[in-house]
Amino acid sequence: MDALIGARLHTPEGFLADRALVCADGVIRDIVTEDTVPADARITQLEGGTLAAGFIDLQVNGGGDVMFNDAPTAATIARIGHAHRALGTTAFLPTFISGPRADMARAVEAVREALDRAMPGVLGIHFEGPHINLARRGAHDANEIAALGDDDIDLLASLGAGRTLVTLAPECVERDSIGALAARGVIVAAGHTEADARTFDMAAPQLKGVTHLFNAMGPLGHRELGAAGAALTRDHLACSIIADGAHVHWDVVRLAWRAKPRGKLFLVTDAMAPVGVPALDEFSLGDELVRVVDGCLRTADGRLAGSLLDMGQAVRNCVAHVGIPLEDALAMAAAYPADFLGLAESRGRLAPGLRADLVWLDDELRVRATWIGGERSDTSEVG
């Protein structure tokens, strides 16, 4: 049994001072006052700061100088997870961007192996495409975008464990196909889409969310809602957002935070290979060269291609640039993505009975250490 003391705790009831988080066997057992820690507990003294639920990132394309698309193997997943853990992420969905069906099948096998091995942090898989709108493809390979058929449904739903998230354009697939995916346990989100509000409504209730709100979708209009407007005004839809200041203006992040019901806006990174490798200034995305330009990732013709963002930086950005209170920003990085995946009973909050997946932040909100299933790593060890 371990007791962590010395940092304030971010809990569903708010911030708690002078409390100890008691963990055993990878699970949070209790939250007690520091003077009532069980006598048999090993005490770890933290040096101030905030102890919170570890961050959960549902859109991780790469990190640590590798891309999941380039080498869809368990080793690649481990390397990506290692890089992101140093930055506060304790659980994630390896994300496969529109690509060949054979590579998609390899990605499923890689995630299945990672889950079988209980690889730290791996929750399942996110397929972003290939069933998206060509006009809103962003940096996706136009040659890989295709209609959704029965064989594709079988592939997308083939993991059989963990969670599968699929981003598709609802106007480009049959409504029955969305229902078929949902019936097989797949979480379906709209993205890279020109769908109007009527299309969003027709896809309900099988459509659960929206991927990287405002990006690669029809914009909010004052006469026609567009995909972004529909996402904002359909309260049942949970929306992810990339809070790096390049994908979405800070004021628009604030607008989304105010518009969506509590718990229905959460952070993702859309991270690429350079995350965790500051010296890496270019990489390949399929046949395209992507370069770091003014702190962003761009193709040769100037299109955004994922991000350099990590979840710790996303939280700091929300506080410093958007004005979101820290307690809400932390929930957007942990509790709300856990809720979206249907994992609220096991992850995303500091509460008895939930996994001891934790992040310790200093007073500048920099990551000092993480725990996955109660196992600690300091940033110097995983960076």
| SS3 (DSSP) at 332 | helix
Which residue type sits at 12? P
Return the structure tokens found at 46. Answer: 């933290």
How far is it, in rounded angstroms, from Cα 192 to Cα 206?
A: 18
What is the distance of C-alpha 59 from the center of its chain? 4
Give Cα separations from 35 to 6, 134, 140, 356 (angstroms).
12, 60, 55, 21
Residue 214: CB atoms within 10 A of its CB come to 24
How far is it, in rounded angstroms, from Cα 249 to Cα 51?
A: 29
> Which residues are tagged catalytic?
270
- Please, is 65 exposed, middle or buried when counting C-beta atoms within 10 Å of its C-beta (0-12, 13-18, 19+)? middle
How far is it, in rounded angstroms, from Cα 358 to Cα 89?
A: 9
How far is it, in rounded angstroms, from Cα 209 to Cα 363?
A: 33
Return the structure tokens found at 100. Answer: 């060949």
